[in-house]
Amino acid sequence: MKKVPSPIISLIPIIVLTGLLVATIRSFSTDALEGGSQVSLLIAAAVCIFIGTIFYKIEWRDFEFAIINNITGVVPAILILLIIGALSGAWMVSGVVPTMIYYGMKVIHPSYFLASTCIICALVSIMTGSSWTTIATIGIALLGIGKIQGFPEGWIAGAIISGAYFGDKMSPLSDTTVLAASVTDTPLFKHIRYMLITTVPSIIIALIIFTIMGLTHSVEDTSHIEAFNQVLESKFNISPWLLLVPVITGVLIAKKAPSLVTLFVSTIAAGICALIFQPELLHEIANEINEGTHTTFKGLMMTFYGSTSLDAGDTAVNQLISTRGMAGMLNTIWLIICAMCFGGAMTASGMIGSLTAVFVKKIRRTVTMVSSTVFAGISLNLITADQYISIVLTGNMFNEIYKKEGYESCLLSRTTEDAVTVTSVLIPWNTCGMTQATILNVSTLTYLPYCFFNLLSPIMSIIVAAIGYKIRRFK
């Protein structure tokens, strides 16, 4: 019988990875995802392979097969991420996202500032697929507005983060959403629809709390909101017609069109809108003197594949309208490939199975299964300090258990997001927590008590499992 590493031995690569990530984050701060984390994953994978080959006589071809198999499994996710990069650039430069922000800002009233902030950040995050971008742009602007209106910074940051992570979690453009679906072999839009069951109640409760807080606080200064909108209006041709792009995207999603088809059509539609509504911005992006068809085409192509930086005369707006394109997704893709190498090595060595067995012993019912997944996901967020790595490890650890017990893969993908994606920002040494605290200049422990959506999501996941609502098992 083949000897399997014990749970203690199986923790060695994870401990090595944790140590490397801590050192990487301390050294590179928010730039840790630009290479340091990837190298840490490869070193940890090498440690795993060394232990497996030297002490457990596992052949190299077994590791190679597992790694290749893992990477093959995320190829669709990589393609989707590339299209998402193009789409995010097209939606911004075409004016789709600025138009949504413009009309969204119109609904802000001081008494409903916190709830409006949460909703606006949610909408922007859904459209951009990035909580980081939302918080670093519109979030900063809203934080300034809220401070002027006299709201405590913890409450404002909590509303911003709650909305941004709700949108990030529900957006088909989000790399973490795509990753969670891919790791668990769940169709992307099926994953998103299933998340509604736990996500909607969590955000509704958060909005009720923010609304109650807002109604107890009265202010009158709304000049910053109008100033922000004026800058957007001066840079972009704001038009309700641009809202047809998200409408078309929504229709395709409702029709259950394949993810790649939906995202590609949406990208092309936004590109057409850029040609019609924002030709001068395409000329600015191309950075050429001659403003002809050639220049317009060049600007559009650069919008799809590269980073863009437009000057609107306002720092917050400049940050908001900058895009990364396809090239901006390469660090995430690099990280995913390295994470797949680590996950493949852990699988081939039997270490994932050994660690999983510890949880299996405690699993008796659905609620125990989901609770174990939530606990593992949050623990990995604490240990690895990175949501991407935690998603991959959680998915790999529990994938076979869920299949063996006859649960749908979307239950695992949803629980993974409930446990990992939204809680990463609550941990001071996690890349998400560190980044958002730095961007907003509000410490993690200051905003943590007010991130109601993030705090409620893992709890809601366990509650829904206990009730058994829409949880199916196949024997």
Q: Is the dihedral of CA 24, 429, 418, 210 positive or negative?
A: negative
Integer CA distances (angstroms), 414 to 98, 186, 197, 268, in order: 30, 10, 9, 30
Burial class (CB in 10 A: 0-12, 13-18, 19+), 313: exposed
pLDDT, one tens digit per residue, over 257-286 is 777 888 889 899 999 999 999 998 898 888
pLDDT, one tens digit per residue, over 241-262 is 998 988 887 788 667 677 788 8
The string of DSSP codes covering 250-262 is: HHHHHTT--HHHH
| pTM greater than 0.75 | no
pLDDT score recorded for residue 53: 92
Instruction: Read off the tokens for 352.
Output: 């994932």
Q: Are 165 and 421 in contact (CB under 8 A)?
A: yes
pLDDT score recorded for residue 322: 80
Spatial distance between the Cα atoms of 19 and 104, rounded to a whole number of angstroms:
43
What Rg, from alpha-carbon coordinates, does the chain have?
A: 23
pLDDT score recorded for residue 197: 92
pLDDT, one tens digit per residue, over 29-44 is 767 767 888 898 899 9
H-run or E-run covering 78: helix 75-93
Spatial distance between the Cα atoms of 128 and 126, rounded to a whole number of angstroms:
6
HSE (side-chain half, CA atoms, 13 Å) at 440: 35
pLDDT score recorded for residue 163: 94
271-293 burial by CB neighbour count: b if 16+ within 10 A, else e?
Answer: bebbeebbbebbbbbbeeeeeee
Q: How is residue 424 annotated by DSSP?
A: G
The string of DSSP codes covering 41-77 is: HHHHHHHHHHHHHHHS---HHHHHHHHHHHHHHTHHH
Q: Are 406 and 473 in contact (CB under 8 A)?
A: yes
Instruction: Read off the tokens for 45.
Output: 């994978």
Confidence class for position 137, pLDDT limits 50, 70, 90? low
Report which of 130, 436, 144 is spatially closest to residue 316, judged by C-alpha positions.
144
> Which of the residue ranges 273-282, 364-373, 380-389 has the most confident prediction, judged by mean pLDDT?
273-282
- For the chain, the domains span 76-328
pLDDT, one tens digit per residue, over 397-445 is 788 788 887 888 888 999 999 999 899 889 876 767 867 887 787 888 8
The position carrying tokens 């063996």 is 404
* Residue-averaged pLDDT of the chain: 83
Three-class DSSP category at 370: helix
Integer CA distances (angstroms), 471 to 98, 184, 324, 360, 374, in order: 39, 16, 38, 19, 16
Mean predicted confidence (pLDDT) in 2-7: 81
Three-class DSSP category at 364: coil
pLDDT score recorded for residue 297: 92
